[in-house]
Structure 1
Amino acid sequence: MTTLRRRTLAGLAAAALAIPRMARAETVEITVHYAQPHIYKDAKEAIAAAFARVEPGIRISWLTSPDYNDGLQLVLRQAAAGTGVDLSFQALNRLRVLTERGLAQDLAPLLAREGDPAALGYTPNILDLGRIGTTQAGLAFSASNSIAYLNGALLDRAGVSRDALPTSWDGVLDIAARLSRLPDAPDPLFFDWAITEWHWSALLLGQGGRWMNPQETRFLLDSPEGNAAMALFERIVRDGRMPNLTSAAAQQAFGAGKLGMRFASTANLRNMIRTTAQNFPLITMPMPVIDPQKGCLPVGGSAGVLMARDAAKREAAWKFLRFATGPEGTALMARNTGYVPVNQIAIDDPQYLGEFYRENPLYLAATRQLPITIEWYAFPGSNGVRISQAIVDNLARIVEGRAPAAQVVQDTQREVTRLLPRAS
């Protein structure tokens, strides 16, 4: 009996020890990268917590980068070193680089395995945000466009009616002049121009212009629309008395009530609400579009790119990507950021976001602009990041008063043309 009992206890102990080992063996850990944690952190953590309730066997290890350009370089370096991430949320205009380098896996077969994409909330327009040529390089996670944030208290002091907000840049600059005449006048406005060319392109596209010709053989900043957009930017800086700030400093100044208007991505909305809640009423309005027939706005945001090579990690990363871009994940993303939802079910089904938009009208400015948005353009070749930086560096010359608009157009045209692979 003693020997049998010892064997039984030993067997039970061995089994007890085996259970944790088995559980550990069945847990798959994936490395997921995303940029801009100051915007996305709350959303990503909320989505991960919800995902863990339905997929407890998948553990997520986060890797972050300050911005999209840094994120692309990080992923490229890791891929070259053989230590690549399993899933990366990249800027929509950087999917082209990852696809052309063979790093973005085609998601079309995985989507087909799930059934009809439209029935899952992935409409053709949503899928197009992540498509490069014939490759479904990513699934859109977030979408943004440019909106205006206004300090309601300062507008009241300047005698501006909240029911008659401007729809043109002339109207915006008129408000800027009125704000500048207030006692203890704040800085009237700030237009986000740095980091990438994305936000500034709202001025170019709003004129009906484009970055490149359809054949992608010529940069078009020296077009009539490009010249007009740069001249308008010069007016915004000069007539709007725009301070030379970083985006982060502008965020702080606006939250402190020292800046009357800020033109920036809707991605900043939740942070704006937090930082202004105790200081003044926040107002949002659509971005003025110059040409009502041809004008449009760029879509910003990110898409999840599947990069895992290990079969188990690949399957786990796909499950997380599907959840993050599905109805529940999209709703959590929208609630925790300010980005526009990119899953049609989340948009249409009241259980996800219907009540939210009714209770949070500040979020509506971005959704009202969706009909005039187009894709975030990705420059051809391997110099996309350098082209973005060249454009930003030249915009800085206007902000700093070092060069007039016409000269900046000429210099930017020349510099970018050198960086394009098929420029003429």
Structure 2
Amino acid sequence: MMNTKSAILAAFATAALSIGTAAAQQNGKIRVTAGSSDLNAMWVELANTYEELNPGITVVLDNSSRSYDDLVQATLRDAITNSLPDVSFQGANRLRTFTDRGLAVPLNQFLNDDVSGSRQALAPGVAAIGAFKGETYALGFGVAVPTVFYNLDLVVQAGGDPKNPPATFDEIIEIGRRITDLQEGNVGVVYQSNANDFFWQAIMFSQGASMMNADETKIDFDSPEGLKALNIIRKIGGSGQAAHQMSQDQARAAFAAGKVGIIFDSNSNLPRFEDASEGQFELAVGGFPLLSQRAQLPAAGSVAMMFATDPEQQKLAWDFMKFAAGPAGQSIVARKSGWLPANEYALRASEELAEHFAQNPYYEPMLKQVPLLRVWYSFPGENALKVTKVLVDGVTSVMTQTASPEDALSTMSHETRTLLNIQQ
């Protein structure tokens, strides 16, 4: 009898031989949408590789959405015009947007009935990431974690130790202030908080706090932890970001150009920052600062959902989704995105992936915080996107020093309760 590792390796071998078998027996076209567009190279390679493995199948790829929420809006418009894609790679926090509307196709039947090698190569966690109320509606594709990136050249100029970059919020804010004081247009710290609520949740979860209580009848961020989070954000703004408020893309471009000392961003930007820093400045990567022994962190990234309703298109969609979440697709994720693969079998059984992470020490702090990850919370109801905007606007008002933490928290709490129609 094979041991566990042998069984996993056997499943991978079978999957490698059988990838595309079901789809290659017919001609067809599959429409795929994906976010975000700054990962263009990954999405294109994913589509091209699948086509190469499946002669006769064309992948019509649309990865023009700049953010997950842009993709959500585009997808909801497609639903109105009855033109949904067959497969869509959505932000993990927007799963219930589509389950609540009955748009995402349940996958339990596909998972239970499929006995192929490519199905065996999907770790249980791949389905668990996309599970909601006992049904799987998506397959995990890539995992993003909140990460700290350092321009060590600027850190050193500001008196920091390149072997021990600042790790706590207090240390980061102090070095950030000194970097800003160097002038020449430098910004000490950028905390990415004006595109979505990922980093708002990160600073809350790092204190062991939550967005809502277990039965979603009460918001939990209207609390001492919420006020502490906003006070930290106020200090970050005061260290320089308030005077140089930038969009998410502008901030990433500024860091890549060597003008930002420290940036809080998704690990998906690692390949971009590696390329930009080469020969320009020394890059370092750190884990998100933790504020409690009960700390957790939100897991972002991408999940693959099926929207196809025609049975034949569903077969193609399922085959493509298995490919994306399987060994070949997960290798592309690791090499092209900076995301961590969602399929733990790929991490455990793929020599290529093991070597990739072993040769790149930048991933070490990210991998260390994987045990702390929890789902990037999505608020209930049809006003979920509006709640996100309320939170982003509140955090931004504190970052730009236009509202006090106390006033912003009061506004965020009141407007969220109103949108969710709750009393407390």
Scaled by the length of structure 2, what TM-score is found?
0.89
Q: Could you list the per-position Cα deviations for residues 265-291 of structure 1 after superposition, in whole angstroms to 9, with x for gaps in the alignment?
A: 111111111222231111111111111
Give the aligned partner of residue 341 of structure 2: 341
Is the 1:117–1:123 Cα contact (8 Å) retained in structure 2? no
User: How far does residue 53 in structure 1 lie from its aligned partner after superposition?
Assistant: 2.7
In 2, Cα distance between equivalents of 1:150 and 1:331: 26
Preserved contact between residue 28 and residue 57 of structure 1 (Cα < 8 Å):
yes
1:285-304 to 2 correspondences below 5 Å: 285-291=286-292, 293-304=293-304
1:61 aligned residue: 60
Structure ID, larger Rg? 1
Tell whether the 8 Å contact from 2:201 to 2:376 is kept in structure 1 after alignment: no
Contact conserved, 1:78 with 1:84, CA < 8 A, in 2? yes
- Cα contact 2:146–2:267 (8 A) shared by 1: yes
Secondary structure of the equivalent of 1:190? strand
Q: What is the aligned partner in structure 2 of residue 87 from structure 1? A: 87
- For 2:174 and 2:395, the matched residues in 1 are separated by 23
Instruction: Quickly say closer, same or farther: Cα 1:46–1:208, change in 2 above 3 A.
Output: same
Alpha-carbon contact 2:174-2:239 (below 8 Å) kept:
no
Q: 2:281 matched to 1:280?
A: yes
Question: CA separation in 2, counterparts of 1:118 and 1:219?
Answer: 42
The structural deviation recorded for 1:389 is: 0.8
Kept in 2: contact 1:68–1:90 (CA 8 A): yes
Q: How does 1:166-181 map to 2 (within 5 A)?
A: 166-181=166-181
Which structure 2 segments of 5+ residues have no match?
Answer: 1-23
Q: Would you say 1:402 and 2:407 are equivalent positions?
A: no
Distance 1:304 1:117 in 2: 19
Deviation per CA, 1:350-401: give whole Å up to 9, x if none: 4231111122212332222101111011101111111101111122211222
Cα 1:29–1:126, aligned 2, differ >3 Å: closer, same or farther? Answer: closer
| Structure 1 segment 353-392 matched on structure 2, within 5 A | 353-392=353-392
**Quick check: 1:207–1:228 contact (8 Å CA) kept in 2?**
no
Indicate the residue corresponding to 2:43 in structure 1. Answer: 44
Q: Which amino acid aligns with 1:66?
A: R
CA contact (8 A) 1:306 1:318 kept: yes
Report the TM-score, using the length of structure 1 for normalisation.
Answer: 0.89
Q: Which moved more, 1:252-261 or 1:349-358?
A: 349-358
The 1:170/1:321 distance shift into structure 2, 3 A limit, reads same
Measured after TM superposition, the shift of residue 25 of structure 1 is 11
1:8-60, Cα deviation, whole Å (9 max, x unpaired): xxxxxxxxxxxxxxxx9941111101111112x21122122222232112211
Question: Alpha-carbon deviation of 1:343?
Answer: 0.9
AA aligned to 2:303 is A
For 1:20-39, list aligned pairs within 5 A. Answer: 26-39=26-39
Between stretches 140-149 and 62-71, larger displacement belongs to 62-71
Match for residue 330 of structure 2? 330
Amino acid across the alignment from 2:263: R
In the TM superposition, residue 186 of structure 1 has moved relative to its aligned partner by 2.0
Which amino acid is 2:139 matched to? L
Q: CA deviation at 1:221?
A: 2.0
Give how far 1:231 is off: 1.4
Q: Within 5 Å, which residues of 2 pair with 1:6-405?
A: 26-39=26-39, 41-64=40-63, 65-115=65-115, 120-182=120-182, 184=184, 186-239=186-239, 241-242=241-242, 243-291=244-292, 293-405=293-405
Tell me how far apart the structure 2 counterparts of residues 96 and 248 of structure 1 sit (CA, whole Å).
27
CA deviation string 1:158-189 (max 9, x = no partner) = 33222222331112122223324436472111
Residue 412 of structure 2 corresponds to 412
Aligned residues: 400
Aligned to 1:20: none
Tell me the percent identity.
28
Q: CA deviation at 1:90?
A: 0.9
Asked whether the equivalents of residues 141 and 342 of structure 1 are also in contact (C-alpha less than 8 Å), the reply is yes
Unaligned runs of 5+ in 1: 1-23
**CA–CA distance in structure 2, aligned partners of residues 153 and 253 of structure 1:** 15
Q: Which moved more, 1:167-176 or 1:192-201?
A: 167-176
Task: Check conservation: 2:146, 2:265, Cα contact below 8 A.
Answer: yes
